[in-house]
A and B are shown apart, each in its own frame.
Chain A
Amino acid sequence: MSDQEILKVTDLYKKFPITKGALLKKEVGSVNAVNGINLTLNESETLGLVGESGCGKSTAGRVILRLLEPTSGKVEFDGTDITALSRSELVPLRSQMQMIFQDPFSSLNPRHTVGSIIGAPYEVQGIKPAGGVKNAIRETMERVGLNPEHFNRYPNEFSGGQRQRIGIARAVTLRPKFIVCDEPVSALDVSIQAQVINLLQDLQDEFGIAYLFVAHDLSVVRQISNRVAVMYLGHIVEQASRDDLYTHPYHPYTHALLSAVPVPDPKVEAKRERIVLRGDLPSSINLPSGCVFSTRCWQAQDKCHTDVPELQDMGNGHKVACHFPIMEFLGTTLITGPDSGVTAQPDRVVPPPSEVLQSLQSGRATRPKGIDYAEGEKPI
């Protein structure tokens, strides 16, 4: 991993308009898929983008590659603002940024041979590799663990895991600097999933590729990422280095997410408490006012329903958008601690944010008392 910044996303918005009427289309509202996200990505770094379905993580990935047009905001790739480029100006840049899709069945053309699928980028970009296209394709196939003799086969002759390797081979054909991986392992069996994760890591080590790894599986994201951003309703609510995020998250939503993932270890499982969130994700057509998580947050106060929390840096690049960040490092106890499970607190007093911030700045991080983790109730 180097410090060379390769991608910078500033204040990115994506709205899908909802129209009424056949001829004179009137805009009656919009689905607010991505609402002002900021991201940076360094060379050979992996940034995990996690969240539940409908949180806008896949849309964000596509907008960043300009497969979808952003509503507003800036995406700088290698110093160039790609949102200002025309379609034809974008083509040469495409050799540097690629995508791997979730579904290894629908993302490969069934009428093309594996060789022509993997070699398509050469044709599109008009690049002639030394030693011939065929040899270059064979080399790439070998690199991703496919048998180069299968050059002339069709995708339906391969299993799910092998098809995902074909998709990966296509993405790395031109040795890009940046790949958006959209749920690349969620359609695969457990034993195959591990193979593909290892392959992605090896390719990164070898070619120095930066990944934006979009996924809903928090265990997989922990395995592969250097940094992690958590999305909820189109907003990034928390962003930190991997270990910081998993061992001491600040945002209540991150706590809830982490506590909901079962761990394959019965002794650990028996000691964990779940934060069960009440209700469903609100619609992204009518976003909640104030903090987007306030409708499901068990510690929401009046302020949370009116004021939008800004992403604030809590130190060490750990950013959180919450008026009342959870200060006690529940993460460690919640996830790995054998004897300090989270229990319900008897008294429910939440200190005002000024106090929380003050104690934070003075280095005495204390946690607001009175969070009932058993249920998603609001404190009195």
Chain B
Amino acid sequence: MTFLSVTDLQVSFSTEDGTVKAVDGVSFNLERGKTLAIVGESGSGKSVTSQAIMALHTGRGTTVSGQIELNGTDIVTASEEKLRSMRGNEMAMIFQDPFASLHPFYRIGSQLAEAVYAHRKVSKKEAKAEALRMLNKVGIPNPEQRIEDYPHQLSGGMRQRVMIAMALINGPELLIADEPTTALDVTVQAQILELLAELQAEFNTAIILITHDLGIVADKADEIVVMYGGRIVEQAGLHDLFYKPQMPYTVGLLSSVPRLDSAGNRLLSIGGQPPSLINLPTGCVFNPRCAAKNPDIAPRCESERPELREVGENQFVRCHLDEEQREKFATTRLAEVLEGE
């Protein structure tokens, strides 16, 4: 049985300006011990997808449909009681801003212990011991003293470590990390990513890593989902995505990132702006910015929404271009980037 399987997930919010379809028909699977990266720009629906998995969309005017099966339990239809027992226990989440996600009035020790009480019948002493063990595990120096600290007494990297400790204290099988290192410096980012990888190996956790940084993806992901305008536009294994990208948007992303290991050729940027979710373009959502569009195929791109189709082993793409056209575009674009290196 698949550990996590998401099928045809749809999330929409009704707003004053109309209904926003933030996520439209997202499907993917994830096994234990693996890392799935969701890549996309702001407004692509990557965070909304992950919040749907944690069943955090409870507001009025929000509709979630489709199926999210975690260990055989459907999260979309599960009762609130069932969800409470699952959150923290079977699935947990760490957020981008560790300062906003820790309570400023409580000592970190009691916040960690609370996570233990919520799911296990343990004494105060045992809960504290558990908190201490976890702080030790995430590499906080002097945990005996630090456990009495308030969040503001810790640095950003330390706070993110506390968040990770809290998320993993009950040994969840699924960890969702929503931009876990975006607010941190690069050297601290390296520490936190190492820590996540170590803990993943130890607990065999499945990780959904949401990020916009393709460098982190290249370092940590097994499978990648690229989202644009609320849809999956490409889905592939790590090497296929980086070396055989199919979707013009993925190619555009790869060629527009400045790289540490290459000297300043002009970046090939993607023109235009990401689409507004209220007023999506007709046809392919990427077509107004697509550089691969040619006159022969343009009418189709502008009128017909492409389906996600399988183009290789475990590689899916949402594009009207045929294989030859896609390949030609990808190779010429990426060659332009590498030119002169």
Residues of A at the B interface (CB closer than 8 Å) are: 52-53, 159-162, 189-195, 197-198, 201, 216-220, 222-224, 242-243, 246, 256-269, 274, 276-277, 279-281, 335-336
Contacts and interface: CB of A to CB of B under 8 A. Distances in A.
B263 A222 contact: yes
| CB-based closest 3 A-B pairs | A262-B215, A194-B269, A264-B214
Given A198-B269, A242-B263, A265 B218 contact: yes
A335 B261 contact: yes
A261 B264 contact: no
B306 interface: no
A258 B260 contact: yes
B185 A264 contact: no
Nearest to B195: A276
Contacts of A265: 218, 242, 259, 261
Size range of the chain B interface in the assembly: 35 or more
B266 A266 contact: no
Nearest to B215: A262
Nearest to B241: A266
B252 interface: yes
A257 B187 CA distance: 6
Given A222-B258, A260-B190, A243 B263 contact: yes
Interface of B: 41-42, 141, 155-158, 185-191, 193-194, 212-219, 238-239, 242-243, 252-254, 256-264, 266-271, 273-274, 289
A277 B268 CA distance: 34
Nearest to B41: A189
A376 to B, nearest CB: 10
A192 B242 CA distance: 20
Contacts of A277: 187, 190-191
Contacts of A224: 258, 264
Given A194-B269, A257-B186, A267-B239, 10 more contacts: A189-B212, A192-B269, A193-B256, A216-B186, A219-B258, A222-B263, A222-B264, A261-B260, A262-B213, A268-B218
A201 B266 contact: yes
Contacts of A258: 260
A264 B186 contact: no
B238 A264 contact: no
Given A159-B273, A161-B273, A280-B155, A52 B261 contact: no
Contacts of A279: 141
A349 to B, nearest CB: 26
B215 A223 contact: no
A266 B218 contact: yes
A190 B212 contact: yes
A335 B261 CA distance: 6
Given A189-B274, A194-B257, A266-B239, A216 B212 contact: no
Given A189-B274, A269-B218, A280 B266 contact: no
A280 B190 CA distance: 13
Contacts of A262: 193, 213, 215-216, 218-219
B259 A190 contact: no
Contacts of A259: 190
Given A190-B257, A191-B253, A258-B260, A264 B194 contact: no
Given A223-B267, A280-B157, A264 B218 contact: yes
Nearest to B239: A266
Contacts of A197: 258, 267, 269
